[in-house]
Amino acid sequence: MEEYLLQFEEILIKFIPRLVGAILVLIIGLWIIRLTMNAIRRTFDRKKIDPSLIPFLSTLISILLKITLFISVIAMVGVKATSFLAIIGSAGLAIGLALQGTLQNFAGGVVLLILRPFRVGDVVDVQGFLGIIQEIRMFHTIIHTFDKKVVYLPNGAVANSNMTNLSQQEDRRNEWTFGIAYGDNVKQAKAIIQQLIEDDDRIMTDPEPFLALHSLGNSSVNIVVRAWSKAENLWPVYFDMNEKVYTTFAEQGINIPFPQMDVHLKDKTLK
């Protein structure tokens, strides 16, 4: 019994300094990693790296550094690195099978950063959400909608879904359909719209605006209007034109009809 106690005491004498040293290395290592990551982020900002890449690369580098530190600490305690890596490999396979969705999101994030269908700050319509790309992280993309909601979308779903980027093109086209009453002067209505377009400096002259009689509806004669503007002016131009046309038509005696139905009653004598 005494022999076992002596052996145990010898093991403790050898193990405790290693353990204390490993803990110190772990604490100092984590502190150094934090300082390193702050320096890397400042370097990214100074080099004007695309904001879409910064969160993803920062997270990836941080994880790699922490894994390297952890393996070094384990080796200091006395565990052989080869044995530890074999255990990690076996555990990684099991974890990978259990976390297929998470790995798919990681792969989706890589695809998004390589193909670059959008960047931070772009206005996109993806997965039924319309908003501004705030951040592309390792496993999900953050979107701020225009009604101040924060949406977290899995990268795997985003990479494999249809999406519309509303910010890639500098010029955008508006389209309106204005209805006037049957019997009103179509040429006068078109002239009014043409003048309103010419008076708006935000509307581009190249490509040239387009006006035409689009269709003869059930209760209105419909005029289609297409005009181009810069992307940032798209919605202001759209809403302003609606208001101007409505006001000017009323001033010029052009009627904007609403759907209605005429019912005719016939008096029949029952025999």
Q: Show me where the domains of the chain are located.
A: 9-98, 109-165, 171-251
Contact at 8 Å (CB) between 119 and 50? yes
Condensed to tens digits (0 to 9), the pLDDT of residues 85-131 reads 666 666 555 555 545 567 778 788 888 877 888 888 888 898 889 99
The CATH architecture that domain 9-98 belongs to is: Orthogonal Bundle (1.10)
Apex CA 62: angle with CA 16 and CA 154, to 5°?
125
Q: Cα(245)–Cα(229) distance, rounded to whole angstroms?
A: 18
Whether pLDDT at 59 is above 90: no
Token output for 173? 């086209």
Question: Which stretches of the chain are DSSP H helices?
Answer: 2-46, 54-77, 81-98, 100-115, 155-159, 186-199, 234-251
pLDDT recorded at residue 190: 94
Token output for 9? 């005491």
CATH of domain 109-165: 2.30.30.60
Whether pLDDT at 268 is above 90: no
Q: How far is C-alpha 109 from the chain's CA centre?
A: 12
Token output for 204? 């581009």
Output the pTM of the full model.
0.57
Cβ-based burial of 148 (10 A; exposed 0-12, middle 13-18, buried ≥19): exposed
Condensed to tens digits (0 to 9), the pLDDT of residues 38-52 reads 888 788 777 666 676
Among 60-74, 93-107, 179-193, the minimum mean pLDDT is found in 93-107
Q: Rounded mean pLDDT of 26-40?
A: 86
Condensed to tens digits (0 to 9), the pLDDT of residues 226-241 reads 999 998 899 899 999 9
DSSP 8-state class, residue 142: E
Please determine whether the domains at 9-98 and 109-165 fall in the same fold group of CATH: no
Pick the CATH number of 171-251 from 3.40.50.2300, 3.30.2310.20, 3.20.20.70, 3.30.70.100: 3.30.70.100
Q: Rounded mean pLDDT of 252-265?
A: 79
pLDDT recorded at residue 199: 93
